[in-house]
Amino acid sequence: MRRFARLYRELDRSTATLDKRAALVAYFREAPPHDAAWALFLLAGGKVAGAGRRIANTRELREWIGQAASLPDWLVDDSYDQVGDLAETLALLLDDPVAPADDISLAEWIERRLVPVANRDPAVRRALVVEAWASLCFDERLVFNKLLTGALRVGVSQRLVQQALAEMSGLDIARIAQRMLGSWTPSAQFLRDLLSPDELPSDRRQPYPFFLASPLEQALRPDTASEGTDTDADAAPDADAAAPVLANDPDAVARALGPIDDWLLEWKWDGIRLQLIRRGADIALWSRGEERLDGRFPEIEAAALTLPRDCVFDGELLAWRPGESAPMPFTALQTRIQRRKPGPKTLADTPVRVQVYDLLELDGEDWRNRPQAERRAMLETLVAQHDDPRIVISPRVDAANWAQAAALRADARARGVEGLMLKRADARYQAGRRRGDWWKWKIDPLTIDAVLIYAQAGHGRRSTLYTDYTFALWDGDTLVPVAKAYSGLDDREILALDKWIRAHTLERFGPVRSVTAHHVFELGFEAVNRSSRHKSGIAVRFPRILRWRRDKPIAEADRLETLRALAR
């Protein structure tokens, strides 16, 4: 545990990516394989608690620390409010032991101590936790608490960990990323297999790491347009407030990307990204979230069995009725993803298809290093030979110049798509988000002016600030919540709003505060769909703050019927 605690401290205190990677390389070289496997699992986002394992919830931890430190509940709560991170609060409220206990390995702490008490009586779980608190020094106590809360945020992406493993082992990072896809159990054997230079039988059952496009706005801003730069995987749309001006300028696009003839243009679909794998009689559908979708889309699996050759396709799963010119809304697809064995009515009400747009493997041969144009040509041949309406090719978008492409992009929403994909004709298929070869040129967002009504503290470095907001629109004389957003304000605005929220809180509901209806914000979002699960009757996709409308009183905020009129 001490070695992992030292690594956590180094990662937490470092702001330089190269320093973080060096610390990871050193740790994985020195740590016992079983410990290293668990460290990899945790740093890649895995959690000890969860998946049916309950060790301690937030209420129990706050109660237990109060008892262990002889502190009243109000002081524990106030300490938590000031620190903002529960694991750190728990570590700070106890003194270090006079004589630290013998070091216990990370694997033993998890497998022989934490996991065996999961879901047992509170007294059993409490005894284990309190005993650990009493025996561990601060750094180890902090990491132990992180294992309990599952909040091991330390500024390290999964790709950075994979880069460290690749540097240490000499393996291609793409092979490491591929072997880490899906669910796996931390063990010394897993780590040996992960870093094995040999081709393993399990390699044939895994999908390839997905290649992710970056927002075109990043190519149009010189300060962020360095090719080959990594960013973390998709969250919300990530352009700043000035970016749409650039994105609407075909001349700016031409200057950034060069001749349009060097690029393949396709529609950007609003569905579920997946890889369709056909290897002999084995068919697999893997989502970008590293989940196998077996059984959920039997019509696609049946169509894949009749493909003319073994292959791996990259594409988009869409709900699409036969004969229609555009897909159904994404909300229709959500009714399918939640059903592991859809019945006849579901299959009839929400038919699906896969729009494929890349070829990653053919007859057992990896095609990812071949040029985009070559992969596309072979893909078109395979799909034409197959001729099944359930697996179709994503059509090319023809434009003579960037001005014509911009005009097509402007009409994208009417086609039921999110914009354009731009792929360099000579690009190879890479792993993760690598800027330069794939760009997404999304349509301008839909917008509304909404009123702030709730706020909640953020996470990580913003855990002491109110940065997660709920917004509402007018429905008659009532403000009805319609969206939550946490991105779009700069640091100065966040600090000012945080101060205002604290001074204008009406009620508290756990971590959430209701505030005086006073401030209006312009929100952007990608689409509006009808939803019976929301009080407003609608759901917006990827909401984010575009600007703080200090000039607008709440009476002039938009009304719910305005948003409903946009719903599909």
Residues designated catalytic: 268
Nearest partner of 15 among 3, 26, 23, judged by Cα: 23
Three-state helix/strand/coil letters over 112-150: HHHHHHCCCCHHHHHHHHHHHHHHCCHHHHHHHHHHHHC
Phi first, then psi: what are they for 40, rounded to 5°? Answer: -60, -45
The answer to whether 345 and 380 are in contact (CB under 8 A) is no
How far is 362 from 498, CA to CA, in rounded Å?
A: 54
User: DSSP readout, 524-537?
Assistant: EESEEEE-TTSTTS
- The answer to whether 92 touches 78, Cβ cutoff 8 Å, is no
Taking the C-alpha atoms of 253, 256, 258 and 263 in order, what is their torsion angle to the nearest 10 degrees?
-70
Quick count: other Cβ atoms within 10 Å of Cβ 358? 23
Task: Look at residue 225 and give its three-state secondary structure.
Answer: coil
Contact 457/511 with Cβ under 8 angstroms? yes
Residues 6+ apart with CB under 8 A from 174: 208, 209, 368, 430, 431
Residue 64 CB neighbours (<10 A): 20
The C-alpha atoms of residue 374 and residue 365 are separated, in whole angstroms, by 14
Q: Strand, helix or coil at 188?
A: helix
Q: Residues 6 or more apart from 542 whose CB is under 8 A from it?
A: 236, 237, 525, 526
CB contact at 8 A, 515 and 455: yes
Angle (CA) 178-183-184 rounded to 5° is: 85
Q: How far is CA 41 from the centre of its chain?
A: 17
Cβ contact 533:553 at 8 Å? no
Q: What is the 3-state secondary structure (H, E, C) of 456-497?
A: EECCHHHCCCEEEEEEEEEECCEEEEEEEECCCCCHHHHHHH
Nearest alpha carbon to residue 530 among 375, 335, 273? 335
Burial 425-459 (b: 16+ CB within 10 A, else e): eebebbbbbbbbbbbbbbbebbebbbbbbbbbbbe
